Amino acid sequence: MNNRGIVVASFGSSYLEAKKKSFDAIEDLVKGEYKDYLVESSYSSGIVRGILKKRDGIESRTTEEQVDDMKARGIEDIAILSLYVIPGVEYEKSTGQGLPRTLTLLEEEEYYDDIMKALKIEDKEEVVILVGHGTYVEADSYYGNFQRYIYSKGFDNVYISSLEGANGLDDLLEKIKGKHNRVRLVPFLIVAGDHAQNDIFGEEDSYLSAFKENGIEVVEDRQGLGERRGIQEVFLKKLEALLSKMDEFEKIGGYF
């Protein structure tokens, strides 16, 4: 192992099976691809870290703590792989002391085709509902960017909604009631944890229950983004591009 490290930074999840299929799976892929690097994970959610420790005895760290530990172990070159959909509040918690980090999933349009493919947006007759977390800061606009890109490809039956940002459930129902009677419901979240289980697919007060109450048939596609191989590959491509850029800067003796 050389003196390089990678921190796989995410919000985290207390749903162990969902965590295993998404965050842990991506971390394992990174370890397999970069065997000469020290690869560790970090979780920005204090609530998640607390639950994992108290309930399961699992110790986890913030990005800041993980970076400090790597530096204490002699790791000099550290990159942050950011497993976030948009650069919201949680992403900003994972700055890693200003170290080089990848951009979030929706920040680079060059990956939009790959994301659409991973989500199986292929049939222009199929109505697809993507439900993201959302935020009330400027970063929420990236959902709109992706929505417009999808429209530009001729898929006008794909709708992006969010739990805490613009285009919530009520707005969505206004758009689709009386127009569509069957939809595929997809969590537009890295991990299909608490929000997916309760707010999207829960038996009460959820997207699923609201659709059923309005006579809309629902195809439940419960797979989180981080479980989808195509999305995993997008994150790996982002990491590869970042590490290549870091190598170029090192060759010319510059600073990243």
Cβ contacts of residue 255 below 8 Å, gap of 6+?
249
Q: What's residue 234's pLDDT?
A: 99
Section 211-239 average pLDDT:
98
Q: What's residue 113's pLDDT?
A: 99
| 144, 86 Cβ separation under 8 angstroms | no
Segment 147-203, tens digit of pLDDT? 999 999 999 999 999 999 889 999 999 999 999 999 999 999 999 999 999 999 999
**Residue 255 pLDDT > 80, yes or no?**
no
Section 207-219 average pLDDT:
98
Confidence of residue 254 (pLDDT cuts 50, 70, 90): low
Between the alpha carbon of residue 54 and those of residues 40, 59, 148, the distances in Å are 21, 9, 43
Between the alpha carbon of residue 84 and those of residues 50, 70, 77, 89, 139, the distances in Å are 20, 22, 22, 10, 11
Between the alpha carbon of residue 137 and those of residues 26, 156, 164, 171, the distances in Å are 27, 26, 10, 19
Q: What's residue 253's pLDDT?
A: 57
Task: Please give the mean pLDDT across all residues of the chain.
Answer: 94
Q: How many residues does the chain have?
A: 256
**3-class DSSP state for residue 228?**
coil
Segment 6-34, tens digit of pLDDT? 999 999 999 999 999 999 999 999 999 99
**Residue 252 pLDDT > 80, yes or no?**
no
Q: What's residue 137's pLDDT?
A: 77
Section 136-151 average pLDDT:
93
pLDDT cut 90: percent of the chain above it: 87
| 11, 84 Cβ separation under 8 angstroms | yes
Q: What's residue 223's pLDDT?
A: 98
Section 236-252 average pLDDT:
89
How far is Cα 80 from Cα 5, in angstroms, rounded to an integer? 9
Section 112-126 average pLDDT:
98
Q: What's residue 195's pLDDT?
A: 95
Q: What stretch(es) of the chain map to CATH 3.40.50.1400? A: 4-107+227-251, 109-223
CATH number assigned to the domain covering 109-223: 3.40.50.1400
Confidence of residue 256 (pLDDT cuts 50, 70, 90): very low
Confidence of residue 241 (pLDDT cuts 50, 70, 90): very high
Q: Which CATH class is domain 4-107+227-251?
A: alpha beta
